[in-house]
Amino acid sequence: MRCDMTDAAILIEDLEKTYAGGKRALDGVSLEVPRGQIFGLLGPNGAGKSTLINILAGLVNKTGGRATIWGFDIDVHPRNAKASIGIVPQEIIFDPFFTPFETLEIQAGLYGVPKERRRSMELLRAMHLEDKARAYSRTLSGGMKRRLLVAKAMVHSPPILVLDEPTAGVDIELRQQLWDYVRSLHAEGVTIVLTTHYLEEAEELCDRIAIINHGRLIANEATRTLVGMAQEKAVEVTVDRDLAAIPAADCFDKIEMVNERTLAITYRKDRVNAGEVLAALQKDGLGIVDVSTREADLEDVFLNLTRAANAAA
Ligand code: ADP
Ligand code: MG
């Protein structure tokens, strides 16, 4: 039945989507999500993340390219492809007249899960919704609805769970619960794909991160590699006397006065090191009292890469 022998959980080749109005949301994206990973799909608003995920979900028709889920081509074996993936959409949509328990049972029915293998209560419990099992969906808070969507995505026990901006508008406690659940699924071997705006979150959770911008893939790296790609380094230096003027040196990318005795300096760590930066200040007769540095995070990488991609376009 498998049409394609691959170790990828998801394989996307040259995926294209042009919407009816002419908007090109995906412009030839190729991407492989390895099995067993937590994979982050990052990108600014309008980048094409939901379009990509909705194509995998069978909610949006692609206009070009190929996608394979757990070895099943979505065009050739759509049912098998669908059975291999659970998707939590960005938009919350529910029938308000069903209870959470009924919602899960109906979903299990749609996926042909036999009664004895259903685990509606277990899923509700995992999502801290057991006391809401018999409440109408319309009475649930936004956060509860989102958790119910996660449970709904898992009724058929797929090997892949995809979450599209799962923490947008979700409070911190709930976010933590959600990540605990995601981690426990991951520990059981489920491949996780998530899109998020929260770069720190992707950095903390994901083994690998892909970045898309304007429908194009601009990065796809192990998280550690991606973080290492941030070349801009920022330091704050406190000196031993009031500054008469802002010092100048070739090794500074940018230098600003924070107050009379503190300078904020940005430099490229691929060109110079901290010692050279401090030496340049000392050469101006300044004594160094204190230095604080900030580790580059994904925010830096993301900004640098999108800036570079925009400049190249
Ligand atoms: P993201 O999820 O990264 O924010 P989307 O995939 O939702 O991005 O959108 C990508 C682009 O496609 C945006 O410019 C958006 O306005 C456009 N778009 C999304 N859905 C539709 C649609 N149904 N019809 C027309 N354009 C759409
Ligand atoms: Mg989106």
Sequence spans of domains, the chain:
8-84+158-227, 96-147, 231-295
pLDDT of residue 185 exceeding 90? yes
Mean pLDDT calculated for residue range 194-221: 89
Region 8-84+158-227: CATH code: 3.40.50.300
Share of the chain above pLDDT 90, in %: 64
* pLDDT computed for residue 238 by the predictor: 96
- Stronger pLDDT, 306 or 151, i.e. the higher one: 151
Q: Distance from first CA to last CA of the chain, Å, rounded?
A: 42
Q: Which atom of ligand 1 is nearest to the CA of 26?
A: 10
Residue 200 confidence class, pLDDT cut points 50, 70, 90: confident
Going by CA atoms, what residue is nearest to atom 12 of ligand 1?
25
C-beta 247 within 6 A of ligand 1: no
Q: Of the segments 31-40, 84-93, 274-283, which one has the largest average pLDDT value?
A: 31-40
Closest CA to 209 of 185, 232, 180, 230: 230
Distance CA 217, CA 65 (A): 14
| Region 100-111 average pLDDT | 96
Of the listed ligands, the closest to the CA of 25 is 1
**Who wins on pLDDT, 306 or 147?**
147
For residue 1, pLDDT over 50 is answered with no
Ligand 1, atom 22, lies closest to the CA of: 19
Contact 206, 194 (CB under 8 A): yes
23 CB under 6 A from ligand 1? yes
- pLDDT over 90 at 231, yes or no: no
Among protein residues, the one with the nearest Cα to ligand 1's atom 27 is 19
Residue nearest to atom 5 of ligand 1 (CA): 48
- Judge if the beta carbon of residue 259 lies within 6 A of ligand 1: no
Structure tokens of 168? Answer: 């947008």
Q: What is the mean pLDDT of residues 102-116?
A: 95
Tens digit of each residue's pLDDT (9 = 90 or more) over 8-44: 999 999 999 999 999 999 999 999 999 999 999 998 8
pLDDT, mean of residues 111-125: 95
Ligand 1 contact via 50 beta carbon (within 6 Å):
yes
Ligand 1 atom with least separation from CA of 44: 3
By three-state DSSP, how is residue 74 classified?
coil
Prediction pTM value: 0.81
Residue 293 φ then ψ, to 5°: -120, 160
Distance from the alpha carbon of residue 55 to the mean position of ligand 1, in angstroms: 12
25 C-alpha to ligand 1 centroid (Å):
6
Which CATH class name applies to 231-295? alpha beta
Judge if the beta carbon of residue 51 lies within 6 A of ligand 1: yes
Q: Is the CB of 49 under 6 A from ligand 1?
A: yes
Which of these ranges, 93-97, 115-119, 222-226, 298-302, has the smallest mean pLDDT? 298-302
Residue nearest to atom 24 of ligand 1 (CA): 19
C-beta separation of 39 from 208 below 8 A: yes
pLDDT for residue 295: 61
Specify the range with the lowest mean pLDDT, choosing from 27-36, 103-112, 162-171, 299-308: 299-308
